[in-house]
Amino acid sequence: MGKSIRYLDRNTEPMLPPQERNKTFREYALGFSVSMALDEAKRCLFCRDAEKRCIRGCPVNVDIPGFIKKITEGDLVGAYKKIIETDLFPSICGRVCPQERQCEGSCILYYDTVKDRKNKGLPVSIGALEKFVGDFIRVSGIEIEEEKREPTGKKVAVVGAGPAGLSCAYDLLRWGHEVHIYEALPKAGGVMAYGIPPARLDRDLLDWEIERLKKLGAKFFFGYVVGRTVSLKDLLDRYDAVFLSVGAGRGSLGIKGDHLIGVYSAIEVLMRINLMHAKDFPLASTPINLGKRTVIIGGGFTAVDCAISALRLGVETHVVYRRTRETSSARDEEWDHIKEEGAMIHWLTQPIEILGDEKNRVIGVKCIKMQLGEPDESGRPRPVAIPNSEHIIECDSVIFAIGQKPNPIAYEDIQGIELTKWGTIKVDEHFRTNIEGLFAGGDVVNGGDTVVRAISHGRKAAKAIDEYLMKEVRR
Ligand code: FAD
């Protein structure tokens, strides 16, 4: 008898219950047990045309059926090796990738690519399986040998230790180059360290990944703000090539009342909570005072992460977004999670003014209801205001989780560097800027995307840098 197709009996990861998890920054998605992982792996049909389905859905084209097959064979080291051929950080991507829009969104159990039909069944839990494999290797103590080429004598500076910079450094180190990583903050990881709350991404595993890089020979220089502590021009003179991966961490505010006391940018809030340990203080004395009620403006990952954090500080949390859930860029399941934990989400609601008292302290946000109109240039329906629907949400603080853009400090001293009209760095298909020896990738190039996309940029740029450095040597 042939294998029956298990469309619907997908294993779901156990979770801490909402009433428990909104009191702790501990990870709430608890991961598959061995038996759950084996059972879930067996749901995969190992489609012959997987490269047109899940593999294509993954921005770094992980050989998904390949690693799942290894799980079914009980070869977790083999599964891990298969994943890291393209995705350096399985434990991280398994946790934070929006899989429903990527690999899982094109799984044949869910999406019939032939008949173009969605919701046929439930996709294989690819993200949870990837996380399982990564976590297994991390806690097993098994050392995975990294192949390393002979030293080339070439030196590369990486500016910014986020996923783009770290993955670029990884390949360059394996190919025998010396890599120095300059990071403004006291910790490596970029958004993975200062932005995403530990409730979604445990810091132990991030530290483990950084250790992997250090073992390969990466040298970190923390507290170096390139453009201030050291100039980019200086790095270009001292190194054979420079990779710029400074992200897009500059928040922009910009509505009436944004000067009031109690208005914060999302990055400021997340940094204070994650790097200044605000979560370890009693509420009244945290290094961030959100008061009793906060309004978060935005509809992406950043807004959701601010909500996760505010809820855990015991603050009544409202999220205001001018579009709908379907058009938001955050993960579907994260909206469910924060809602279960008590966040109030106001869809199709546009803030128009922040209101303050006579002492300039925030007392509320004036909003207007929206409805969907004609599509804009990106094809998404444009929200339009509903007349006479103004209303006020009372609050003690406001967090802006919108309008992230690159901070030019690192490269503003470089005369003639080409930027796009959005202020991101312009690169060619090899991630080369118009400045000799200067490459760039990640959010500083795409204006804000995903961890896995940053990894993909970092690795492609590493290949281009290697070719650039070795041109003469290999000729
Ligand atoms: P970053 O991660 O931003 O790293 C840039 C690094 O450069 C930082 O460490 C910064 O301190 C450093 N730097 C900046 N300027 C300088 C300078 N002048 N000198 C030296 N160092 C400098 N994506 C997902 O896939 N899943 C998620 O769940 C998710 N959640 C997110 C939550 C938040 C709050 C945010 C803001 C983004 C989230 N994203 C998520 C998007 C994702 O994190 C980014 O796309 C990704 O981190 C970009 O990587 P990067 O390496 O380009 O930049």
pLDDT digits (tens, 9 = 90+) for 70-84: 999 999 999 999 999
Q: What is the mean pLDDT of residues 321-350?
A: 93
From ligand 1's centre to the CA of 388, what distance in Å?
Answer: 39
**In the chain, what percentage of residues exceed pLDDT 70?**
96
Q: Whose alpha carbon is nearest atom 30 of ligand 1?
A: 301
- Torsion angles phi and psi, residue 159, rounded to 5: -110, 110
Report d(CA 306, CA 295) in Å as an integer.
10
CA proximity to 165, closest of 102, 228, 230, 209: 209
Q: Whose alpha carbon is nearest atom 53 of ligand 1?
A: 247
Q: What is the mean pLDDT of residues 143-169?
A: 95
From ligand 1's centre to the CA of 189, what distance in Å?
Answer: 8
298 lines ligand 1 (CB under 6 A): no
Ligand 1 atom at minimum distance from 444 CA: 52
Confidence at residue 403, expressed as pLDDT on a 0 to 100 scale = 77
**DSSP one-letter code for 256:** B
Confidence at residue 332, expressed as pLDDT on a 0 to 100 scale = 87
Would the pLDDT of 157 be above 70? yes
Confidence at residue 249, expressed as pLDDT on a 0 to 100 scale = 82
304 lines ligand 1 (CB under 6 A): no
The CATH homologous superfamily for domain 263-400 is FAD/NAD(P)-binding domain (3.50.50.60)
Give the model's confidence band at 39: pLDDT under 50 very low, under 70 low, under 90 confident, else very high. Answer: very high
DSSP string computed for 416-467: T--B-TTSPBP--TT-B-SSTTEEE-THHHHSS--HHHHHHHHHHHHHHHHH
The CATH homologous superfamily for domain 18-140 is Alpha-helical ferredoxin (1.10.1060.10)
Domain boundaries along the sequence of the chain: 18-140, 155-249+405-474, 263-400
Q: What is the mean pLDDT of residues 284-293?
A: 78
Question: Do the first three CATH levels of 155-249+405-474 and 263-400 match, i.e. the same topology?
Answer: yes
pTM: 0.93
Confidence at residue 251, expressed as pLDDT on a 0 to 100 scale = 72
From ligand 1's centre to the CA of 191, what distance in Å?
Answer: 4
Confidence at residue 285, expressed as pLDDT on a 0 to 100 scale = 57
CATH architecture of 155-249+405-474: 3-Layer(bba) Sandwich (3.50)
Helix axes 203-216, 126-140, angle to 10 degrees: 60
103 lines ligand 1 (CB under 6 A): no
Report d(CA 428, CA 426) in Å as an integer.
7
Would the pLDDT of 278 be above 90? no
Token reading at 278: 């605000």
Ligand 1 atom at minimum distance from 165 CA: 51
Q: Whose alpha carbon is nearest atom 29 of ligand 1?
A: 301
From ligand 1's centre to the CA of 301, what distance in Å?
Answer: 12
Computed over every residue of the chain, the mean pLDDT equals: 93
Confidence at residue 343, expressed as pLDDT on a 0 to 100 scale = 97
Pocket test for ligand 1, best of 60, 97, 102, 191 (most atoms within 8 A of CB): 191
From ligand 1's centre to the CA of 368, what distance in Å?
Answer: 31
Would the pLDDT of 475 be above 60? no
Per-residue pLDDT tens over the stretch 162-202? 999 999 999 999 999 999 999 999 999 999 999 999 999 99
Q: What is the mean pLDDT of residues 354-382?
A: 92
Confidence at residue 250, expressed as pLDDT on a 0 to 100 scale = 78
